[in-house]
Amino acid sequence: MATKVVVDPITRIEGHLSIECDVDGGKVIDARTTGTLFRGWELILQGHDPRDAQDYVQRICSVCPVTHGAAAAFALDDAFGLTGQIPENGRIVRNLILGANLLHSHILHFYHLAALDYVTAPNLPPLVPQYAGDYRLPAAVNAAAVQHYLQALEIRKLAHTMLAVWGGRIPGQRGIVPGGSPANVDTEKIVQSKFLLAQVTDFIDNVYIPDVLAVAGAYKDWAAIGVGCKNLMTYGGFPMDNNGWNGKRFYSNGVYINGQAGALDPTQIGEDVQYSWYKDGIPKGPYQSVITPEPYKAAGYTWLKSPRYDGNVVEVGPLAKLWINNNATLKSILPGEAAFSVIGRHAARAVDCSNVAHAMADWLMQLTPGGPTCVPNEVPQHAEGMGINDAERGALGHWIVIDNWKIQIYNAIVPTTWNASPRDDNGQPGPMEQALVGTPVADVNNPIELVRVVRSFDPCLACAIHLITPDRKVRKFRVY
Ligand code: NFE
């Protein structure tokens, strides 16, 4: 008979994800993911001035406020008819701000949210508590990795300092607005950024990548665990021209379904709610979806909706982005289909981090000191807009409907909503639920294997569900 294993919460920070797995014969045979907080930001935004959006949505999450702000600004660019008008400096400054947060976020994930599932640490805060496990790194490599955990805190600070050079502050940066960026471009900022970026890049190439390769070498079997649905989607990232979501990007957008690469068609995106704590019968399309919470719905088991692409379950994230962009480094580290795995997700994130760091050095040199960064704009009486771009954890889209100069409908479909989604209207489990099935569990009382699979996705439930009401009971727990 199967044993039910519940890990709640399974995320180290980033909101509260709970999983429930049926384990039989030492393996997971079924899994369910539950987002335990209600998301309400879209309802709060209704009736607001549309220009509030890029500020408000940054409060969705303090790990990726920048990408939410950017998705809102891209949606407002679209709604305000500004596509094609963003000055080059504005486009580049936006990319630098997005890039700086990506560097911070990937380093955060590997060292501070995931590494202690592979690296055994001294019995000292903040390194404990830790799961008992098959920690396999050679002693010297393990000891160095513990040092790198601490060094990574400093490096993240440098990445955020670089972000603040252009965005004024973080979290809640002010450097990405509809029409471009309000930041002035001058040589002092460029030089300061180059100095900071060089230190961050050195850490990525000489510490982060080697540490990920050491983990990949010691945990080879994990390149065949947590495989998942093998359908992927990316919105791409970092606009290289002025043509909106379908223009040239540093990473192209696209899909990979049933082994076939294809072009992205955003009209194929829809959301199901049969197993979510929302009233049934809402329209599936992102421009129409307005939720009504139904916390006691019998079929429901999560606050996350179930986004699907043309009815397909798709995984999003750095693995999807690099795979669809045919990244040679990822494919050389993990040949064949080994990238569809726990190790594949960590490796893709590290390669992504290095790619973006090196590209940022070029982008800094493409700025024109003193040049324009923003175009003036006005709120239209009626309009719709879509802003899609990969956030650190994958495909992030914001959709806005403006009526009488105010927000009528707002909808954010975020990476973790895709990855940690529940079953859809056709009963298909979400990507993380599928990745958990087949995972070996040596000890149901110490399910470190489940933790490794889930954390490889870098789930962020703050992004996926956003809000808790103060009168709701909050449980006290200890995460390790
Ligand atoms: Ni809260 Fe986020 C990212 C977004 S993940 S971290 O990256 O969007 O769902």
pLDDT, averaged per 10 consecutive residues of the chain (480 residues), comes to: 92 82 98 88 94 94 93 98 97 98 98 96 89 95 97 98 97 96 98 98 98 98 98 98 96 98 98 96 93 94 97 98 98 97 98 98 98 97 98 98 98 97 98 98 96 96 59 49
Ligand 1 centroid, distance to 391 Cα (angstroms): 6
Query: Kind of pairing, strands 394-403 and 382-391?
Result: antiparallel
Which of 460, 466, 467 has the most ligand 1 atoms within 8 A of CB, as the residue to mutate?
460
Bridge partners for 246 per DSSP: none
Rounded distance between C-alpha atoms, residue 423 and residue 414, angstroms: 17
- Number of helices and strands (H, E) in the chain? 14, 13
Closest residue by CA, ligand 1 atom 6:
64
Instruction: List the Cα angle 387/62/407 in 5-degree steps.
Output: 40
The domain spans of the chain are 3-464
Identify any residues that bridge with 33 across adjacent strands, giving them in sequence order. Answer: 19
Distance 202 CA to ligand 1 centre (A): 25
Q: Ligand 1 center to residue 390 CA distance, Å?
A: 9
- Please choose, from the candidates 350, 451, 465, 351, the residue with its C-alpha nearest in 3D space to the C-alpha of residue 108: 350
201, 207 contact by CB (below 8 A)? no
> Which residue, judged by its Cα, is nearest atom 1 of ligand 1?
463
Cis, peptide link before residue 9, omega less than 30° from 0: yes
Short-list 134, 60, 92, 202, CA closest to 452: 134
Residue 315 Cα to ligand 1 middle (Å)? 14
Cα of 457 from ligand 1 centre, angstroms: 11
Pocket of ligand 1 (CB under 6 A): 14, 61, 63-64, 67-68, 391-393, 396, 414-416, 460, 462-464
Q: From the CA of 460, how far away is ligand 1's center (Å)?
A: 6
Residue 475, Cβ density class (10 Å: 0-12 exposed, 13-18 middle, ≥19 buried):
exposed
Q: Report the predicted TM-score, pTM, of the whole model to 2 decimal places.
A: 0.95
Q: CA nearest 270: which of 254, 257, 289, 253? A: 289
pLDDT at site 12: 77
Q: What is the DSSP string of 311-345?
A: TB--B-SHHHHHHHTT-HHHHHHSTTTTTSSHHHH
Is residue 108 classed as helix, strand or coil in its secondary structure?
helix
In terms of CATH, what superfamily is 3-464? Cytochrome-c3 Hydrogenase, chain B (1.10.645.10)
Which of 62, 393, 398 for mutating ligand 1's site (highest number of atoms within 8 Å of CB)? 393
SS3 32: strand
How far apart are the C-alpha atoms of 202 and 431, rounded to whole Å? 34
pLDDT on residue 461: 85
Q: What is the pLDDT of residue 462?
A: 77
Q: Which pLDDT score, from 0 to 100, does residue 240 have?
A: 98
Q: In sequence order, which residues have a C-beta less than 8 Å from that of residue 138 and are 6 or more positions away?
A: 218
- For 397, the enclosing helix (H) or strand (E) is strand 394-403
The DSSP output letter for 278 is B
Q: Are 236 and 321 in contact (CB under 8 A)?
A: yes
> What does the DSSP assignment read for 120-184?
---S-TTS-S-------S-HHHHHHHHHHHHHHHHHHHHHHHHHHHHHSSSSS--S-BTTB----
